Structure 1
Amino acid sequence: MILPRRKFLSLSAAIGCSAAASPLLTPVSLASAPGDRRLIVIVLRGGMDGIDVLRPWGDRTFKALRPTLAKDQNNALDLNDFYGVHAGLKDLMPLWKDGNLGFVQATSTPYRDKRSHFDGQDLLEAGTSALAPLGRRTGWLNRMLPYLAGAEERTAFALGREDMLLLTGDAPVSNWSPEVDLTLSSQGLRLLEMTMHSDPEMAAAMAEAIMLAGSDGDSVTFEMSDQEMMSEMAEDAKKARTGQTHLKIADFAAEQLRADSRIASFSVGGWDTHANQQRALNAPLKRLSEVILRLKEGLGLQVWGKTSILCMTEFGRTVRENGTQGTDHGTGGTMIMAGGAIRGGQVFGDWPGLKEADLYKGRDLMPTSDVRAWAAWAMHDSFGVPQSILESEVFSGLDMGRSPGLLL
């Protein structure tokens, strides 16, 4: 049982600054269910430029629309006669050759025109065609959990510092953040002891918090001065700035997925490349590559062979580069897939073309598929969730179409 956030926050004044360090307040999502398949959903926050990551060299219009961004074709990493990939994904090329890496071209959520990161990400994670009122939004991964026989709280984990709508909803999930340790002053500890004595729900929540706080090798401390607490929190913030957070998340997710958990969700940011995109895109591509390879290493060969990773972004970017050698918010984009369970080594979906008449409103890549359908088929093939349930309860009103054969 997860302690409701509002209930725990009501205790924060007495606990003091240690409340900010509690893993109960910063989410990572994981879930456990019967069966051997694993599903990892990574949200690429910022609007990844799908046609810079997956480059359509075979479309002659591409280089004309991007005289700067597409000028390095001689250094491209070729996938086939039509596509290449950004050099920032060079470390993942062995996965492509092994059939453990694939792409979906020209795909998008139903979101159109306003091109707001916040609304786009909400729709991506909610899996709906329109935004629900605040307080009534739930995520599609959470809505799937009731249809997994035997699913428990630790079936799914949400990982990271920010709240993830993707796993928000009625079904219980576990949360974890990599940058925080659990630290309590003696006064805070006494308050919790008194509360837990009469509140089994609180006791269960704190037991989970203590377990999760120590699961990454960091300390769980119950006796600490305010100065020591602030020092440890400053050290956590310093670690976050060194750029290793994504690796800690990958390590934790792999550890849980090797055990009873079956679903994990987190995000990798840095994809909003309005200027100097040639340089700006390298860092997030490097982080994403490191995360995928770290997951492969941490899961081990046997579990990796049963794992599907879906990397999804809120929208694509304009097909023309702008005056600052970047790109602006667009529509159609690319989904990246990895894992030993996917049918990789290929690009899925239909290519719409880049001629003026083929573009969405004359500026964006035209979506030829709904990204929710690819996610739905991954859930269907991973966990056996019926297509009728996915189309009515998980993604209400979605037409999944015929199976694309995403998974082995």
Structure 2
Amino acid sequence: MLQRLSRRAVLLAGCAGVLVAPKGRAATPDSRGRKLIVVILRGAADGLAILPKIDDPDIEAYRGLLVDRNAAPLSDGFALHSAMPTLAAMYRSGEAAFVPAFGGPYRERSHFEAQDLLECGEVRNVVADGWLNRALQRAPGGYSAVSIGPAQPLILRGDAQNVSSWSPAVLPEASDDTIVRLMDLYETDPVLKQALSAALGADMVAGGMAMDSMGGRGGPAQYVQQFEAAGRFLAQPDGPEIAVVSLEGWDTHTQQNQMLRQRLAALDNAIRRLRETLGEIWKTSALIAVSEFGRTVRVNGGQGTDHGTGGLAILAGGAVKGGRMLGDWPTLKAAALFEGRDLMPTVESRSIFKGLLRDHLGWTTRDLNGFIFPDSAAVPPAGGLV
């Protein structure tokens, strides 16, 4: 019997090029089977709630009810939110690390501008291509990438052609008879035939997964599906080396505790599913999860937090040198807060991205400082991440 294909994939296949299946590229010896997963937590995840510095003398005064009393103690006075037991276990086994005062050079508080600058790798001006796409243009091996989500993110847009995309289905699945009829109909049209074949191939790799009816557009119920799809693509013998996953819903202005717990539990389950799906490849994989900025140190009147500055970066994977907190902690003293309200970043985002690209996948420092992250020689790659 034919592999079932989502109706969305069939419909989009009729529009050549809208749904693109990842094209296999033979890995060169330089790639050494290594994989990189970049996760964007859109909406400004609250790093202080995810990874509170529970021994900071000022955290109780600022945070109060937003401090998770059941957070799992890790090291250096930090504890991980109790909704993330898998990630806590990874930290203890040396497969996860955290950057608790992480941030890009952007110092305003617009979600969209901050996300664009994070993804394009610039300091002030948003450009049309992303830093991962530019990296693929200078790849040391035959690398390719896949984006998992409803739209291709800016980080992967640009001139590099070895970029593909896949999105979970939101409509009822097409019957086998419908697929056969479409194949017959498209037999004499090479463009439409190729598009349908590509869609079928992508859906087969992803396992025919459909979006949960309760998940909505990028909601927490979809996190596990997205990570499993990424794992399936990366685990293919000729699959891509890089996957980008966009997770929506991290803007917590009101009733933060409940919203954040739900999302963190979903993210924790998604990371566990990714590890299971990758199997042995997990040992040579590195994941980084980041947000456009952090949130205010103080709780607002709606039992939530507002747009801030310093945030959190999560590193996980068998290739990661884990069990560590990376970078200096700026403290929550009033004089140490950015503009008197936000956590001050001490580790620059481009430094971490550069370190992963250089030491995990083999890009040169010259390309990283110039073409990939323009005019960024003053921000050296972070060493020892993998």
State the TM-score, normalized to the length of structure 1. 0.81
> For each residue in 1:35-85, what CA deviation from the matched residue of structure 2 results, as whole angstroms up to 9, or x when unmatched?
211100000011001111111122101111112212x54x22111241111
1:339 aligns to 2:334 (yes or no): no
Partner residue of 1:62?
59
1:359 Cα deviation from its structure 2 partner: 0.9
Gaps of 5+ in 1: 1-14, 220-234
Aligned pair in 2 of structure 1 residues 22, 171: CA closer, same or farther (>3 Å)? same
Residue 117 of structure 2: aligned partner: 123
User: d(CA) in 2 for partners of 1:397 and 1:282?
Assistant: 39
Aligned residues: 365
Identify which of 219, 227, 231 aligns with 1:254. Answer: 231
TM-aligned CA distance change 1:20 to 1:277, over 3 Å: farther
Runs of 4+ in 1 over 6 A off after TM superposition: 20-23, 27-31, 184-191
Cross-structure match for 1:281: 260
2:216 is aligned with 1:238: no
Q: Identity rate of aligned residues, in percent?
A: 37
Contact between 1:27 and 1:160, CA under 8 Å: does it hold in 2? no
Q: Counterpart in 2 of 1:164?
A: 153
Tell me the residue number matched to 2:307: 329
Q: Does 1:305 align with 2:305?
A: no
SS in 2 for 1:67: helix
Distance 1:240 1:274, change over 3 A: closer
Q: Give the direction of change, closer, same or farther, for the CA distance of 1:269–1:343 in structure 2 (3 Å limit).
A: same
Which residue in 2 is equivalent to 1:90?
Answer: 85
CA offset at residue 28 of structure 1?
8.7
1:369/1:31 CA distance change after superposition, 3 Å: farther
Runs of at least 5 residues in structure 2 that lack an aligned partner in the other structure: 1-7
> Residue 236 and residue 278 in structure 1: after superposition, are their counterparts in 2 closer, same or farther (change >3 A)?
closer
Give the one of 384, 390, 398 matched to 2:362.
384
TM-score by length of 2: 0.86
User: Does structure 1 conserve the Cα–Cα contact (< 8 Å) formed by 2:134 and 2:160?
Assistant: yes
The amino acid across from 1:213 in the alignment is D
RMSD: 2.9
Structure 2: distance between partners of 1:101 and 1:246: 19
2:167 match: 177
CA positional deviation for 1:236? 5.5
Shift of 1:159: 0.8
CA distance in 2: counterparts of 1:166 and 1:20, whole angstroms: 24
Structure 1: distance between partners of 2:312 and 2:272: 20
Alignment of 1:6-405 (within 5 A): 18-19=11-12, 24-25=17-18, 33-34=27-28, 35=31, 36-70=33-67, 72-73=68-69, 75-113=70-108, 115-132=109-126, 136-151=127-142, 155-172=144-161, 173-179=163-169, 192-196=186-190, 204-218=194-208, 238=213, 240-241=215-216, 244-259=221-236, 260=238, 261-300=240-279, 302-398=280-376, 399-401=378-380, 403-405=382-384
Contact 1:111 1:120 in 2 (8 A): yes
Deviations 1:204-259 (A, max 9, x none): 4443222113333439xxxxxxxxxxxxxxx8572644954322222222122122
Q: Alpha-carbon deviation of 1:27?
A: 7.4
Cα-to-partner distance string for 1:138-171 (whole Å, 9 max, x where unaligned): 111111112224425xx21111113311111111
CA distance in 2, matches of 1:236, 1:88: 23
Residue pair 2:211, 2:225 contacting (<8 A) in 1 also: no
**Change over 3 Å in CA distance of 1:81–1:349 after alignment to 2:** closer
Q: 1:177-199, CA deviations, whole angstroms, 9 ceiling, x for partnerless residues? A: 12158867899767744542xx5
User: Which structure shows the higher helix fraction?
Assistant: 1
